[in-house]
Structure 1
Amino acid sequence: MPMISPKLACAIFTDETRDASLPLRPDVLLKTMSHHLRWHGHVVVGDVALRLYKHKGSWQYDERDVRRAARDLAAVTVDHDDLVEVVLPGRQWREESSAEGDARGCANWRGQIAGWMYHEALSKELARDRPYTERSEWAQIGENGLPGELTWEEFVSARNGSGSSSTIGGTYPLELFTRSEGRWWLPRAYANLLDRWEVEEEKLLERARLCSRCGARGPRWSGWRTPTKTGYVTMCPPCSGAEFTTYTGHLRGVPYGQMRVRKLRADDYLCRLCQSSRASVWDHCHEHDLVRGPVCASCNTFEGKGLPELLLRREEVVAHLLECSRCCRERTLPLRFHAAVAQAHLKAEARHASCPVQPHVRHRNTTETGHIFDLYCDRHWTKKWKEEVSAAGALELVHTFVDQTLTAGRPEPGVPGPRATSDTHAQT
């Protein structure tokens, strides 16, 4: 089959849909680092799912699929006079969509648009820097249908600047979104297309949950998805365990540079962190150049780019960091975690005068002499102050943190729980 790069696929799709009446955004075809690939291996444009194939480390599309999808979507006629009312969910949708289980994060285009509105309204409110007690009205819907004091112009301007995070199914709904008679409206043909997008996303997710070996049904969000040379496959832990070797720590203390000389393959092992996916790389301590263990691509990104203060709350991550034999022997952690340990200490110990409330602590920056933090008290809103923890002081706190971890017994790697978007600096 004729395989093409995402860049060429985007160009072909753009050309084929140049006269389309749908608000298409073909750039979605370029998002080969998207979480959707891990979830189900497709990019859904409108109501058409385009599969990606991995060849020699690069993601590619079948040109025939791209042209067929483009022509199908270009043929959709949008009648701007045939409108349907769009009833958006309230603020509680965000809480309901964050619930555990299969209900969490279902495809919901109405909820996504509502989420954008509340996000921008809250951003505007936070920019005013008002006390928390005066923020109760930011989520109330105004006469213009938007929460708080958000205007339509501000909303559209903010979302235009957020790129693909304001698209749904490769389309831009705000282009056709209108308000009349106190209600929101969209062309019926487009609203129906978005409904079909929801169905297609859910169908792909459900199919990707089934173990490719035994057919067992796994967790909704890619817990059993394993990267391979040709893309992601779904394998349950028993099938993965039967297929790949469990790492036992036998390479602890080995310099990372020797791994290539020894020709030891990480993908022969299960990921040491999640213990459910095939490993793809050897993780190592960048300060001591010593091997920690084999990890999958997802856990490698999670450990490498996650917020240090969140990573340190996970026992299995701390245990993995201490797989570096020098970190363990010297009772330390990589430097990027020192500020996070000091931050946790200030949160537990620092107080505004005799106030019993834990302050909010934000790491401002790191200098040659130490780490600087901004603190503020929720109970006394106007009380803000600065604390500095010296580099030596932070190192002592790290020693104490590691000692407590080792005294409690080094925990075995566990299955990482759901990762918040904030773990990797993702934005709404």
Structure 2
Amino acid sequence: MSECVIAGRVDGLLSLDAANVLWAGSTAGSAVPTAAAVFTSSPADVQAGYVLLSRRVVAMVQAGGGAWGVSEIEVRRAAAEMRTVEMDRQDLVRIGPFGGAPKPEQGKGTLLRWRERLARELQEAGGPGRAARDNSGRPSHLAGIDWRRILVERSRGRTARSWWLPRAVVRLLDAAEHAETQWLQATRPRRANMPVTQPPERSGQPRATDRRQATSPDGPTAPPRPYNGELQSQLYSVLSRKPGISRKVAGWACAVCRTVPAAVLDHCHEHGYVRAPVCHSCNTQERPDHLYSNDIRVAGHYTRLFDTHVVDWLRHWHRCPGCRARTTLPLAHLAAWTAYVACRSQRPTHRDARGSRGRKPCGALRVSWTGDHHAPQSCVFTVVVDFCPSGEHRVLAQVPYREAAEQFRTWLAATAPAVAAAAGPDRIDDLPTQPRPVIPDTSGEGLALF
């Protein structure tokens, strides 16, 4: 993960209005839409003493005459970071609602728990088009991002709805939240002794006698440490009840992407074992696009799961002793693999509508299964293509679970030899003879089994 809390450079101060102009101009070409007036609208507040932009904490400094300003070089660096973010608007992560009322605001001028802040604004305003505004009428922002322009709201029926953001933005906001948390922890002793009319001063920041120069030192931050299997073979039902486990999880980097702090414990719902601490983005990405209790759509993010980053994900799934011993995947993941990989050659194609000579897969893949997910070996996978011009709901294949599992083992040995070499029943001594019941997942609708 790139550095979160960056030391400032003495490069002159900009007024807040001038900084707004610089930010808007410097991020005009970024893939992620940015907000205007980031230094003069919520959550910016001189009482807080800083503004969060991209992954950076940009300090507000009081110059001569009492006017507030920010370091020009810090604004430029934050804008440069924002321009490097690549965003796929189709690769979405669900961010809510997940039930329960939003928690109360933790403190004016902070971006802590951006999901709760966003959910509060949406629920209070009644929708993304009427989200909350500050006292000046400007809409609030998240780390300088105009999230309203990329928020997707999906409805099911008259009342059910869900909110989604692009995965790249979710990862950026998670990194921003971590940067802010580290900055607040580093400056808490000084902030506690400051009068409320003053922004917090940090070591290296100019004192009242010389406020023409602005700095923003790192402070004693603690970057998340790599995960090295410390929770291996532990049961989620036991570990999740231990006091302080959430704080411990947040101390690790995500075990999959290894770029942002972990936020949740990913676990195998079929066998009940903890896999590893992961970030919200990776935890959502590994879940199939769930339609019904036994029916999933094989969405575009499977390119990452079973193609571009396949070894990382296979290693992660096999952190579960049950899956590793049986050299397979949980039922829903094996179903998705069967549709995406084993049945790839059977999927119909058509000419690319953009005029090129190539062909592209047609329709949308979907896989369902019959049988009891408590006894997956009794299941049969049915792979179909929806919305295909040559015949909607065209059935590609029906594959028994045992056959799919055998095909997966062969493919695993060729694709990830190191992962395959560590798998098998002779590698596990303490595995229960019977799979554990599926653990219900309460973090979202229709997301059990994963």
Question: Structures share a fold, TM > 0.5?
Answer: no
TM-score if structure 1 supplies the norm length? 0.41
TM-score if structure 2 supplies the norm length? 0.39
Q: Which has the higher contact order (CA 8 A, sep 6+)?
A: 2
Higher helix share: 1
